[in-house]
Chain A
Amino acid sequence: MAATKVSHLSYFNNQLWGGNQVLVAVLGICSALGVTNRLSVSITMGLSVSFVTAFSSLFVSFLRKVTPDSVRMITQLAIISVFVIIIDQFLQAYFFSISKIMSVFVGLIITNCIVMGRTEGMAKNVSPWPAFLDGLGAGLGYAGVLCIVGAIRELFGFGQLLGYQVIPLSWYATSESPNGYDNFALMVSPPAAFFILGGMIWIFNLVNKKA
């Protein structure tokens, strides 16, 4: 009994770190570049993807024995789309300003490789509870990476975190003190996330080698 519990949790833990979908499998990069210039948006995106992967894995796993093999991809897509639309509608109703910033990226969760990868690669082969944990772990692992990238980009691109000024305004360059601090303009644009992700993968590999 205890052994199965441990192994169930390992589905979750493995996705969070050792098998992180962004850092190891390098999946979900498109949205990781697109929505990470503000921390608040990164968090919302991370949580949305976690919700979608967790619950679509759960339902794909529930249906795994009755799903005909020839239409399994379509079935997975239908289930994923339902959850993505739920998230999209929910954001539109209660977090309109965030849904406006995320615009197409919420709808594009459907095409996020992580979701399909988890349902096809894991959920259709295991029972619902491990599938759910695996999906949740994959989503939260993605969310964690997104938050780190988002925090770095917002801090250096805008000097803020979650919209609050972190770098004191007195440090900034003005016409009187032209040698002051300036925001790093590259951080605001998507390519910055590319460099940060590359750096993170490098650090990740260094740490894992030692361990």
Chain B
Amino acid sequence: MPESSPSEEATLGPSRKTHNARVLAFMVILSFSCALILSILASALAKPKEQAKDLERSKQMMIAAKLLDYQGRFLIRNDEDKYIYAKYEKDGLLTPGTNKDYATNSQILDIHKRRIIPMLVNEKGGLISFEKAGINPDDYLSKYKKSGYYAQPFKLIYKILPNTVEEKKKNGKAADGYVIPINGFGLWDAIYGYLALKPDGNTVIGITWYEQKETPGLGANIAEEPWQSLFPGKVIFQPDSQGRTDFKTAPLGIKVVKGKVSEVLGDIPKAKNAVDGMAGATLTGNGVTDAYSTVLNAYRPFLIKLHENYLNKQTEAK
């Protein structure tokens, strides 16, 4: 650019100034009107967005608990303990169905309300209801989501109730399993998920992650079915080299290894406590490992109690 002489600048000065002022005014007005439009939109859509998120959370919790499959069909267990498709009958009962019985949103919310009951675990590992603890569930759920329910003196847990009256009678008052809310940090942001455990307090029914901002195609695979389906049947208490588990001292959690479990650990008992990592998402995997070990350790007294109860019931049955 050629340097302009002082006299030129003097003549251009005022017009340039007004020009700049006009540009500035234009940008300020534009930004304000854009911001106004977006904030109106955000407040107008806040409610349906919250509802959509709620539904998504319920769905993910039910997928972890194997009440629902990834395509949105209800699941129940048949006599051989295999999961089969189910359809919704009135009063929240699920009966055997076909692979075409997709659940509607209201059915999902109804089953969620009937079958998954939020409860609290105190520091000694006892299970108590929200009323007994004198805590308002709604306040509690919204207040501690970010900091993690596991860090509270009363920790959140969801009890999965059995499907039919007969099953309830057979198992007594016992639950079908428990869902523990998990939170931790992935590579980019906080990650939130669920881990469903069988009544033995050790075996995993399933896991899901319902809120994450990991890299799409890499770390975001933690929210996808193929990776999540590695978890069912894993144990959360790490067995020692003989395959025994000392519940009081064993490390708790599920380890996401780098590479494949079969290659890293082979066939040793520890392999039941680990899952395959995702290529290109080592840091997300580490975040998941940390999240499981931190959260589950907070529930250790409860899990030990659960396992003891389970063993007692088995010996009684014999």
Contact = CB atoms under 8 A, between A and B. Distances in A.
Contacts of A100: 56, 223
A94 B216 contact: no
Given A78-B34, A92-B49, A104-B216, A66 B26 contact: yes
Interface residue tally of chain B, by bracket? 20 to 34
A96 B52 contact: yes
A208 interface: no
Interface string A91-107: 01110100010011000
Contacts of A92: 45, 49, 52
Contacts of A96: 52-53, 55-56
Contacts, number: 50
A111 interface: no
B52 A93 contact: yes
A70 interface: yes
A183 interface: no
What secondary structure prevails in chain A residues at the interface with B? helix
Contacts of B298: none
- Max chain B Cβ within 10 angstroms of own Cβ: one of A71, A90, A96: A96
B26 A89 contact: no
A66 B52 CA distance: 40
What secondary structure prevails in chain B residues at the interface with A? helix
A81 B34 CA distance: 9
A67 interface: yes
Contact of B27 (A74, A82, A89, A103): A74
Contacts of B23: 68, 70-71
Nearest to B23: A68
Contact of A71 (B26, B41, B52, B55): B26
Contact of A103 (B22, B38, B55, B220): B220
B73 to A, nearest CB: 13
A90 B44 CA distance: 10
A82 B34 contact: yes
A40 to B, nearest CB: 13
A57 B51 CA distance: 33
A108 to B, nearest CB: 10
B48 interface: yes
B48 A94 contact: yes
B38 A82 contact: yes
Q: 5 tightest A-B contacts by CB? A: A93-B48, A96-B52, A93-B49, A68-B23, A93-B45
25 contacts: A66-B26, A67-B26, A70-B23, A71-B26, A71-B27, A75-B26, A75-B30, A78-B30, A81-B34, A82-B38, A85-B41, A86-B41, A89-B42, A89-B45, A89-B49, A92-B49, A92-B52, A93-B48, A93-B49, A94-B52, A96-B53, A96-B55, A100-B56, A103-B220, A104-B216
Interface of A: 66-68, 70-71, 74-75, 78-79, 81-82, 85-86, 89-90, 92-94, 96, 100, 103-104
